[in-house]
C-alpha cells in the first residue's frame, strides 16, 4: 500500500534533498526547524518525508543567515516573528541581547587564551576543588521566579528581576530585607537534552512583607541535608566542582535526590573573575 502523499499534491514542490541543496541548510537543520515550528514543510508524508514550496526559499535563507550570525533557535524564532509583524522594537531588542551574548563569549575566549598562555588551565585539567561536605540547610523564605531558557542570560535576567522587585519595595518598607545570597535551582532531569530550554528558578532569601507580580512567588524552601561544595573561579568552570562532588557521592554511596542549588556568594562586579565564589548544594539520599 502506498502511504506517501499523492503525486498530484507534490507537483511543483521540492523534496527535502533539493530544498537542502538550494538553501544550503542541512536536512538535519530542516528537520529541526520543522520540529521547532521555525519552518514547516508544505507537505509531510506519513513516513516523515518533507516537501517544500519554492516560496519558502527566502524564509529558509533568512534562517540560514541568522544561524551563520550565531543566533540560537529561540532568538531565531523571535527574530522571524519580529520580521513578519514588522515589530522593529522587538527586532532591536533581540539584536542587542545577541550583541551582549557575543561580548560575553569574546570575553570568555580571551580568558581561555590567557589561561592557555599562563598555564593556569592546568588547575582545570587537574580538577582542583574543595572537598564536599554534608550540610544542614535551614528552611529559607524566598522570592522566586522561574523560567525556561538558556542558562547564562536567563539566570542573570531572573536575578535582576527579583532583586529589583525587592529593592523597589525596600524604599517604602525598611522592614523588608535580603537575608542571604541569590541562588539558582535547576529543575531539569535526565529526559531534558539541551541548554536552550533549561527549567531555571532563581530565589532571593528575604524577611518582611512584600507584594510580587503574578510571575513571581513568595514561598519557603524546606530544610534539608545537602552535599555542599564551594567553587572558586569563573562561572563557566563550575562543572569541575560538580564532577568532584559526584565522584565523592559515588564513593559514599549517595545519589542525587532533587533539584540542585547554586548560591552566588559574591558579586562578580566587585571581584576578579578568578575570585568569584559559588556554593553548590546537592540534595541526596
Q: What is the pLDDT along the chain (285 residues), one digit of tens a residue?
A: 333 444 445 667 888 888 888 988 888 889 989 988 899 998 888 888 889 998 899 999 999 998 888 888 888 888 888 888 888 988 898 888 888 878 877 876 776 677 667 665 554 444 445 788 898 888 889 999 998 888 778 888 899 999 989 988 888 888 888 888 899 999 875 444 445 678 899 999 988 888 888 899 999 989 899 999 988 888 878 888 888 899 999 999 999 999 999 999 888 888 788 788 898 999 999
pLDDT value at residue 97: 86
- 128's CB contacts (< 8 A; 6+ apart) are 240
- pTM above the 0.75 mark? no
Structural domain boundaries of the chain? 7-68, 88-123, 128-283
Calculate Rg over the CA atoms of the chain: 24
pLDDT value at residue 195: 54
pLDDT value at residue 112: 65
Q: Tens of pLDDT along 95-137?
A: 888 888 788 778 767 766 776 676 655 544 444 457 888 988 8
pLDDT value at residue 73: 83
User: CATH topology of 7-68 equal to that of 128-283?
Assistant: no
Share of the chain above pLDDT 70, in %: 87
Domain 7-68 has CATH 1.10.1660.10: yes
pLDDT value at residue 266: 84
pLDDT value at residue 120: 55
- 53's CB contacts (< 8 A; 6+ apart) are 12, 13, 14, 42
pLDDT value at residue 11: 65
For the domain covering 128-283, report its CATH number.
Answer: 3.20.80.10
Amino acid at each position: 500500500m502506498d502511504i506517501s502523499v499523492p503525486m498530484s499534491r507534490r507537483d511543483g514542490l521540492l523534496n527535502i534533498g533539493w530544498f537542502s541543496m538550494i538553501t544550503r541548510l542541512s536536512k538535519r537543520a530542516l528537520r529541526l526547524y520543522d520540529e521547532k515550528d521555525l519552518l514547516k514543510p508544505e507537505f509531510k508524508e506519513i513516513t516523515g518525508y518533507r516537501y517544500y514550496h519554492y516560496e519558502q526559499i527566502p524564509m529558509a535563507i533568512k534562517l540560514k543567515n541568522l544561524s551563520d550570525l550565531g543566533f540560537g533557535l529561540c532568538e531565531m524564532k523571535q527574530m522571524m516573528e519580529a520580521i513578519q509583524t514588522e515589530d522593529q522594537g522587538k527586532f532591536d531588542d533581540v539584536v542587542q541581547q545577541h550583541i551582549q551574548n557575543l561580548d560575553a563569549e569574546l570575553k570568555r575566549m580571551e580568558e581561555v587564551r590567557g589561561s592557555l598562555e599562563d598555564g593556569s588551565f592546568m588547575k582545570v585539567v587537574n580538577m582542583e576543588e574543595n572537598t564536599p561536605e554534608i550540610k544542614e540547610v535551614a528552611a529559607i523564605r524566598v522570592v522566586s521566579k522561574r523560567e525556561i531558557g538558556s542558562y547564562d542570560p536567563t539566570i542573570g535576567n531572573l536575578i535582576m528581576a527579583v532583586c529589583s522587585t525587592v529593592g523597589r519595595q525596600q524604599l517604602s518598607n525598611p522592614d523588608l530585607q535580603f537575608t542571604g545570597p541569590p541562588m539558582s535551582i535547576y529543575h531539569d532531569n535526565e529526559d531534558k537534552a539541551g541548554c536552550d530550554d533549561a527549567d531555571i528558578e532563581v530565589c532571593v532569601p528575604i524577611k518582611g512583607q512584600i507584594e510580587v507580580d503574578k510571575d513571581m512567588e513568595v514561598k519557603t524552601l524546606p530544610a534539608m541535608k545537602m552535599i555542599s561544595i564551594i567553587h572558586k573561579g569563573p562561572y563557566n568552570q563550575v562543572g569541575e566542582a560538580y564532577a568532584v562532588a559526584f565522584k565523592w557521592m559515588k564513593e559514599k554511596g549517595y545519589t542525587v535526590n532533587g533539584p540542585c542549588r547554586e548560591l552566588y556568594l559574591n558579586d562578580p562586579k566587585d571581584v576578579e573573575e578568578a575570585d568569584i565564589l559559588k556554593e553548590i548544594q546537592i540534595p541526596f539520599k
